A and B are shown apart, each in its own frame.
Chain A
Amino acid sequence: MQKLYSWMEARMPLGLSPSTELSAFVAASIVNLLYSMVSFFWYFDYCLGGLYADAKRTILLSPSDPYVSMLPFWAIARDSYRGFFVIVFMLIWAAWYHYHYHSQKSKSIYLMKRLPAKNELKKRCLTLPVTGLLITAAIAITLTAIYYICYITITPEAFL
């Protein structure tokens, strides 16, 4: 963990706490993950239930019945991504906050702007938010893959 904190400290505004930023991101990601999974599987299960004639799901309805159909994957998965947009918004806000932090209580922005390392300010404002975006994108892709595999394996073949 200490190595991770050191890595973060070198890439975030001086004086901010890496543990606070990490905790906020991890907490938001866990809530998002749970919300996304509950949202997808609840709706998927609800749609699956509509394909059966009984509550125990033993009698499958006919696919030729015009009133019975399975929703396409994206229509079921769509709402499970809401939390991701919230996280993306939070990360954009974090980048803004990192920049404006340099003008709070002092003008450390003047020090950052006159460093010989041209990209130091950008590095310290953007690295963590961009890393967060990449991790969030990776989680979204992984979840999409899991959801899709569930969708095509669990949905009765006749309704795919």
Chain B
Amino acid sequence: MIEIRNLSKTYGSKKALDNISLEIPQGQIIGLFGENGAGKTTFMKSVLGFLKHDGLALLDGEPISHKNIARLSFATCEHSFFPNLSAEAHKDFYQMHFPNFRTKRYEGLMEFFQLPKKKALKSFSVGQQNQFEVIMALSQGADYILMDEPFSGNDVFNREDFYKVLLGILEPNETILLSTHLLEEVEKFIDRAVLIHQGQLVGDKLMEELEDEGKNLMTFVKEIYHYRQDRVSRALSGMTDMDDAMED
């Protein structure tokens, strides 16, 4: 289990994360949601130890460090691969450093997405690069797979394919923490929704509970964010009034 205790992060005077505590047990698929700048990426990077932060991030009771970091993998829309290297060279490097690397899964996913193995990744399209990023995160042999908007730049068919593959290959002990804006797309397969707003944890709900309450993910998110249904119509009417005034 990953246990986050009182995680805080500040950039100068701005609080990017404010005292977040969260438990991530093994085997769940968790959607991490929030507006742009809410702190989702900062949260993931803090958990992985890329950013200095206050509070604790524990993995089975131990601080996350080089000793246990191999149990966590990370796929990011910023891409963490080497653009000059081929897919095969990445595989060799991962095999060298991650003892539980899943070669069979890697081969299967590469074949499924028909990605070239010998070409440098810089020659891939953005969609292919995203696919490769996720393939490596899934093949590393990690128990906890953190994904930060991994499908930005992929078309909807591509994403659909990935969700299906993801559900098909995941083993019961594998955990996914998926940060995305695509609520409707992921609500079918996530087990739990975690919401961050302005650096604070504002919602944490199992999808089963939402179903019992007769709500969908979008309704839940709108409730938490106090989304005003008349926001658009008010804005439009305001603009129309302005136009009228100018005409007068």
Known contacts A105-B83, A106-B78; decide if A116 and B49 are in contact (CB<8 Å).
no
Interface of B is mostly: loop
The distance from the CB of A114 to the nearest CB of chain B, in whole angstroms, is 5
A114 touches B72 (CB 8 A): yes
Nearest neighbor of A107 in chain B, beta-carbon distance: B78
Q: In the assembled complex, which residues on chain B have CB atoms less than 8 Å from the CB atom of A109?
A: 80
A111 touches B48 (CB 8 A): no
Q: Show 9 A/B contacts (Cβ-Cβ < 8 Å), sorted by A.
A: A15-B85, A106-B82, A106-B83, A108-B81, A109-B80, A113-B50, A114-B69, A115-B97, A116-B66
Q: Does residue A141 face the partner (Cβ distance < 8 Å to B)?
A: no
Number of interface residues of A (CB under 8 A): 18
Interface of A is mostly: loop
The distance from the CB of A125 to the nearest CB of chain B, in whole angstroms, is 14
Contact of A113 among B49, B76, B89, B120 (CB under 8 A): B49
Nearest neighbor of B99 in chain A, beta-carbon distance: A116
Q: In the assembled complex, which residues on chain A have CB atoms less than 8 Å from the CB atom of B48?
A: 110, 113-114
Q: Does residue A16 face the partner (Cβ distance < 8 Å to B)?
A: yes
B80 touches A107 (CB 8 A): yes
The chain B residues found within 8 Å of chain A, CB to CB, are 48-50, 66-67, 69-70, 72-74, 76, 78-85, 89, 93, 97-98, 120, 122
Nearest neighbor of A13 in chain B, beta-carbon distance: B82
The distance from the CB of B121 to the nearest CB of chain A, in whole angstroms, is 8
Q: In the assembled complex, which residues on chain B have CB atoms less than 8 Å from the CB atom of A4?
A: none
The distance from the CB of A36 to the nearest CB of chain B, in whole angstroms, is 35
Nearest neighbor of A115 in chain B, beta-carbon distance: B97
The distance from the CB of A118 to the nearest CB of chain B, in whole angstroms, is 4
Q: Does residue A75 face the partner (Cβ distance < 8 Å to B)?
A: no
Q: How far is the CA of A152 from the CA of B80 in the complex (A)?
A: 58
- A110, A115, A118: which has the most chain B beta carbons within 10 Å? A110
Nearest neighbor of B69 in chain A, beta-carbon distance: A114
Q: How far is the CA of A151 from the CA of B217 in the complex (A)?
A: 85
Contact of B97 among A13, A16, A107, A116 (CB under 8 A): A116
Q: In the assembled complex, which residues on chain B have CB atoms less than 8 Å from the CB atom of A14?
A: 82, 84-85, 89, 93
B50 touches A110 (CB 8 A): yes
* Contact digits for A32-69, partner B, Cβ 8 Å, 1 yes 0 no: 00000000000000000000000000000000000000
The distance from the CB of A139 to the nearest CB of chain B, in whole angstroms, is 31
Contact of A105 among B50, B66, B73, B122 (CB under 8 A): B122
Q: Does residue A31 face the partner (Cβ distance < 8 Å to B)?
A: no
The distance from the CB of A8 to the nearest CB of chain B, in whole angstroms, is 15
Q: How far is the CA of A62 from the CA of B248 in the complex (A)?
A: 108
A114 touches B74 (CB 8 A): yes
Nearest neighbor of A119 in chain B, beta-carbon distance: B66
Contact of A16 among B49, B84, B98, B122 (CB under 8 A): B84
* Contact digits for A109-153, partner B, Cβ 8 Å, 1 yes 0 no: 111011111101000000000000000000000000000000000
A116 touches B69 (CB 8 A): yes
